[in-house]
Chain A
Amino acid sequence: MNRLRLKIVGASGTGLLSTGDILTNALSDLGFYAVSDREFPSLIKGGHSSYSLNLSPDPVYALSSGADIMIALDKNGMETYKDELKDGGILVHAYERFGGIKALMEEFESRGVEVVSAPGRKTVAELGGNNLMVNVLLVGMVWKLLGYDYGLVEQAIKEKFASKPKLLEMDLIVLKHGFDLVETKVDFPVPEGNTVRRFINGNRAITLGAIHAGCRAYYAYPMSPASSVLTYMAELQPKTKMIVKQAEDEITAAQLVIGSMYMGTRAMTATSGGGFDLMTESVSLVGMIETPFVAVIAQRPGPATGLPTWTGQGDYQMAKYSGHGEYARLVMAVSNAQDSFELIQHAFNYAEVYQIPVIVLTEKQIAESLWTVDDFEEGAIPIQRGLVTGAELESIESNDRYRITEDGVSKRWIPGSSSAYYFANGDEHLEDGTLTEDAEPSKQMIAKRIRKADTLRDALPEPDLYGEASADISFIGWGSSRNVMMDTIAKFKAEGKSVNYLHYSYLFPLKTDVLEQFMKDNKNVHLIEGNYTGQFGQDIEARGHKFAGKLLKWNGRPIYVEEVSEYINQNL
């Protein structure tokens, strides 16, 4: 695949993110498809960070490892990430104590790296700017290297610093100076058609999906990498008129959601694994009183605090088994911005229609990666509430609320909408919610609630197949694996090799028809997952299937296209 890989490196707090944002915004107007992600440690200043951006004229979903162009904001960044710059690549930096990087420069030279540099602080000072503007100088230099329209990067700078008009004037001088310092060295033409696309991350897409689905209250406690959902919800509050409330802890957030959902509105929360651990007793209550519940888990590697700002898929089984007792639930997983917007809408529908907890898994690399998307389609997923409304509210009776039914689903109505009151009882109960400890009704009621899982399974969509029905090598996975597999399939197709991939957005309860056919049609099936134990693969193995191999990664980093390619070449 034709892609250009940019990587900005430097210490946290050196303006790495804003540099990335400026470049990204400028580039998104050129009509490229793009994906970006950032790596950073859990601290505010210092430590090594990077911002990766891949561009392509064709759809691109996952990041490639390595870089064609590296933009170094400091010496440490150069040292830490030097091996990721390809031999023959371009290094752009503004470090001026050349003596201190002599050995480093010699190493780059020996690898054929072209170094483009300017003495940053000195140059900016001569222009009358301050040290923070060195990044703007670098942006100007990079933009010229790429040879794109100056007006776009100028506009991006204007938008970024709109609130600081005094500095903006100087920023523009510095930008132009950087632009004029260097020559164009990259030939990566702008795609024809010049479609301007949105650039959006997974958490923003989940936020917009929830808002579109009529979510009216958002409750959360800050925890990386879910925190930005709270930020976005709060920022959009003047438009949405929602209640957005930071709770005193995750238990509270879960309880607020339950209270609001029980009352008949749509509410949700998002957290990471540790926060969800605290919510699990509440999830169990939801299972018992059959109140809808939607929680997003933005995964990062555990156990405990683990790797708080890194990525992984280690919480599937935690979600699947969370909460004591036996009851129906749905565990689903998003992959990118587009399906984050869509799946969260489905999550509300399933939660309400089946009166179950729905747990939506995302990952740090999805939550914070940016993708180019076309405007999301509105109204494509109608709201389904499963509520009794209208004249039927007059005829229902209290016993309808937890009526033992064949499919396990009983009627639900908004408290106060009918004179048929009911007890939403966390104790075992009869059909109107009256507490019981008798053996027979308990047995029936427990079975009724669990039967909803079978009803739900029938209603869920089958997994998605990418590539041909039969291939030389096959993969099964979920979450972010879809991104890397889609890029991989395209790459190998271009090389004349067949790779296919079965992707699960709905993980539990497990859909099996397409799976069984896939296992019949393919003889070299591998698991791809971002954890050590192959958690989701175990559900497939439990059906008697064996994987030819497993591509597993658990070090907090995404699975890169190159890693899958290498794995395929070893197993083909």
Chain B
Amino acid sequence: MSLPLLNNLVKHKDRITELETENVITWCSGCGNFGILNAVMHALAIEEVGVKDAVLCFDVGCNGNASHNINAYTIHGLHGRVLSLAAGAKIANPDKKVIAFAGDGATFSEGVNHLVHSVRNNFPFVFIFHNNENYGLTTGQPSSTTKCGAKMNSAPEGVTAAPLNPLQFVLSLGPSFVARTYSGNITHMTETIQAAMNHKGFAFVEVLQACPTYNRETPDEWYAERVRDVKDLEDYDNTDIWAARRIVEDLDEKFYMGVLYKNEMLADFMSLQPNREGRKPLVDEVEPMSIDGMY
């Protein structure tokens, strides 16, 4: 852990404690979700986002069971739909930090259309994509990111369809922020989530997530050997989308982490609403409106 981050954590330790609940955590031992939840708490604490300042939106899946494991306003919606739910929340009150969480099943199967249009619209919130390459909560069925040939529940002879490349897919949509991190490295996750929180636009953060129970193809150690920090890559320009597309192509040997791509010139959804310029959030505008002149 870097010294500045450590100092920051010490400085904000009370905030971190405030975020912790006593509710029972129901993940398997060794699950990547523990680390992700901690990193989220660290990032919120360091960024000094208080309980009144944020809304956390959870999809259905193992990650969604965190919805009551953090002392915050949370909403735990339907499977596959969290991006639209979070967009609705953010539009209504852009003053709040909105962070959405969903797994690979929700993001790349049940609700892939919402991902496409969240990127297109550049809705200004953070999306933490938990990629553990399977449906954990329903006991280990393959997802669209499961490796070909993996023997899974519902595919006992091995998965036949080729996996999707999540970041290649997102980059093809013309995003404004794409990052990758790894559930075995809380420091890196914290810093990446902080960077996403400070981005003005749709911030897509893939977390390569260990699933010790069902993902035997790419366990924690498998990732640990393969992850690299993009900062160590000489001359890497994270405003060059083709550079990003080249390094995310590899899903076998080298997984580059960090902010892989950002385009700060891309206007976010809210700043493209000329009628909303200089106005209070929609939540503060509910009052009778005269319809004079509207017939």
Whether, in the assembled complex, B91 has its beta carbon less than 8 Å from a beta carbon of chain A, the answer is yes
A458 to B77, CA, bound (A): 30
B282–A260 touching, CB < 8 Å:
yes
Assess whether B88 is interfacial by the CB under 8 Å rule: yes
- Asked if A251 is at the interface (CB within 8 A of a chain B CB), the reply is yes
B32-40, B64-72, B128-136, B189-197 - interface stretch: B64-72
- Of chain B, the residue at the smallest CB distance from A204 is B295
B2 at the interface (CB under 8 A from A): no
Q: Contact: A238 with B275, CB < 8 Å?
A: yes
- Bound CA span A282–B114, Å: 14
Whether B9 is near chain A, meaning CB under 8 Å from some CB there, is: no
| B116 close to chain A: CB less than 8 A | yes
Q: Does B245 contact A (CB under 8 A)?
A: no
What residues of chain B lie closer than 8 Å to A571, measured between beta carbons?
Answer: none
Q: Is A256 an interface residue (CB 8 A)?
A: yes
Contacts of B273 in A (CB 8 A): 243
Which of the segments A92-100, A207-215, A303-311, A507-515 contacts the partner chain?
A207-215
How many contacts between A and B, using CB within 8 angstroms?
Answer: 195
Asked if A263 meets B92 with Cβ closer than 8 Å, knowing A214-B288, A434-B23, the reply is yes
A263 to B97: give the CA distance in the assembly, Å.
12
Residue B246 at the chain A interface, CB threshold 8 Å: no
Q: Are B93 and A263 touching (Cβ within 8 A)?
A: yes
In the complex, whether B188 has a CB less than 8 A from a CB of chain A is no
Rounded to whole Å, the gap between the CB of B40 and the closest CB of chain A is 15
Residues of B within 8 A of A417 (CB): 52
Give the CA-CA distance A394 to B167 in the complex, in Å: 44
Question: A466 to chain B: which residues have CB within 8 Å?
Answer: none
Contact status A239-B78, CB under 8 Å: no
Residue of B nearest to A435 (CB): B68
| Minimum CB–CB distance for A543 against chain B, Å | 35
Q: Which of chain A's residues 69-102 have a Cβ closer than 8 Å to chain B?
A: none
Q: Please state if B286 and A383 are interface contacts (CB–CB under 8 Å).
A: yes
Chain A residues whose CB sits within 8 angstroms of the CB of B65 once the complex forms: 435
Q: List, in ascending order, chain A residues with CB within 8 A of B283's CB.
A: 263-265, 414
How far is it, in angstroms, between the C-alpha of A424 and the C-alpha of B65 when the chains are bound?
12
Q: Which of B78, B92, B116, B281 contacts A281 (CB 8 A)?
A: B78
- Stretch in contact with the other chain, from A126-134, A169-177, A425-433, A552-560: A425-433
Q: Report how far A434 CA is from B65 CA in the complex, Å.
A: 10
A216, A239, A245, A378: the one contacting B288 at CB < 8 Å is: A378
A241–B284 CA distance with the chains assembled, in angstroms: 13
Query: Chain B contacts of A212 at CB under 8 A?
Result: 288-291
Contact B77 A255 (CB under 8 A): yes
CB distance from A280 to the nearest CB of B (A): 11
Q: Is the CB of B68 within 8 A of A433?
A: yes
Which of B88, B93, B114 is close to A416, meaning CB atoms less than 8 Å apart? B93
Min C-beta distance of B200 to chain A, whole Å = 18
**A425 neighbours in B (Cβ, 8 Å):** 67-68, 74-76
Give every chain B residue within 8 A of A378 (Cβ-Cβ).
288, 290-292
Is A564 an interface residue, CB under 8 A from the partner? no
* A200→B71 contact, CB < 8 A: no
Chain A, 235-283, CB within 8 A of any chain B CB: 236-243, 245, 247-249, 251-252, 255-267, 281-282
In the complex the two chains form, is B53's CB within 8 Å of A416's CB? yes
Determine whether the beta carbon of A259 is less than 8 Å from that of B294: no
With both beta carbons as reference points, the residue of chain A lying nearest to B269 in the complex is identified as A245
- Among the stretches B79-87, B214-222, B226-234, B235-243, the one at the interface with A is B79-87
Q: Which residues of A contact B96 (CB under 8 A)?
A: 263, 415-416
Partner pick for B55 among A240, A256, A263, A419, CB 8 A cutoff: A263
A418 surroundings in chain B (CB, below 8 A): 52
Which chain A residue has the least Cβ–Cβ distance from B117?
A248
Tell me the complex Cα distance, A252–B83, Å. 9
Residues of A within 8 A of B (CB-CB), count:
66
A residues in contact with B11, CB < 8 Å: none
**Do A426 and B275 contact each other (CB < 8 Å), given the known contacts A252-B84, A259-B85, A260-B88?**
no
Chain B residues lying within 8 Å of A214, measured Cβ to Cβ, are 285-289
Interface of A is mostly: mixed
A266 and B114 CA atoms in complex are apart in Å by: 22
Contact B73 A251 (CB under 8 A): no
B60 touches A251 (CB 8 A): no
Q: Judging by beta carbons under 8 Å apart, are B77 and A252 in contact? A: no
Q: How far is the CA of A378 from the CA of B74 in the complex (A)?
A: 37
For residue B156, CB closer than 8 A to chain A, the reply is no
The answer to whether the Cβ of B13 comes within 8 Å of any Cβ in the partner chain is no
Given contacts A255-B84, A435-B65, contact A236 B294 (CB under 8 A): yes
Q: A216-B285, A416-B53 are in contact. Are A247 and B294 (CB under 8 A)?
A: no
Question: What per-residue 1/0 map shows which CB atoms of B42-53 lie under 8 Å from chain A?
Answer: 000000000111
Question: A289 an interface residue at 8 Å Cβ cutoff?
Answer: yes
Q: Is the CB of B275 within 8 A of A263?
A: no
Check A239–B294 contact: CB distance below 8 A: yes
* B78–A282 CB distance below 8 A: yes
User: How does the 8 Å CB contact mask read for B263-289 relative to A, with 1 for contact and 0 for none?
Assistant: 000000000010110010111011111
Within 8 A of B (CB), among A365-422: 375-376, 378-379, 382-383, 385, 414-419, 421-422
- Is there an interface contact between B23 and A241, defined as CB atoms closer than 8 Å? no
Instruction: Give the chain A neighbours of B293 by CB distance below 8 A.
Output: 239
Say yes or no: A416 contacts B286, CB within 8 Å: no
Cβ–Cβ contact A248 & B81, under 8 A: no
Measured CA separation A242–B285 after assembly (Å) = 9
Give every chain B residue within 8 A of A263 (Cβ-Cβ). 55, 88-89, 92-93, 96, 282-283
Q: Which residues does chain A contribute within 8 Å of B281, judged by CB atoms? A: 265
B88–A256 CB distance below 8 A: yes
Q: What's the minimum C-beta distance from A435 to chain B, rounded to whole angstroms? A: 5
A85 to B272, CA, bound (A): 53
Residues of chain A with a CB closer than 8 A to B90's CB: 259
The answer to whether B51 and A421 have CB atoms under 8 Å apart is yes
Whether B17 sits at the interface, judged by CB under 8 Å, is: no
Contact of B78 (CB < 8 Å), options: A236, A285, A385, A424? A285
- Partner pick for A198 among B23, B84, B92, B295, CB 8 A cutoff: B295
For residue B160, CB closer than 8 A to chain A, the reply is no
14 additional A-B pairs beyond A258-B88, A417-B52, beta carbons within 8 Å, are A212-B290, A216-B282, A251-B81, A252-B81, A256-B91, A263-B55, A263-B283, A265-B93, A285-B78, A376-B291, A379-B288, A383-B287, A426-B77, A435-B67
Can you sample 25 A-B contacts with CB below 8 Å? A208-B291, A212-B288, A216-B92, A219-B88, A237-B275, A240-B294, A241-B279, A243-B282, A248-B114, A251-B81, A255-B88, A259-B87, A259-B91, A259-B92, A260-B92, A263-B88, A263-B89, A383-B286, A415-B55, A416-B55, A421-B71, A421-B73, A424-B75, A424-B76, A434-B68
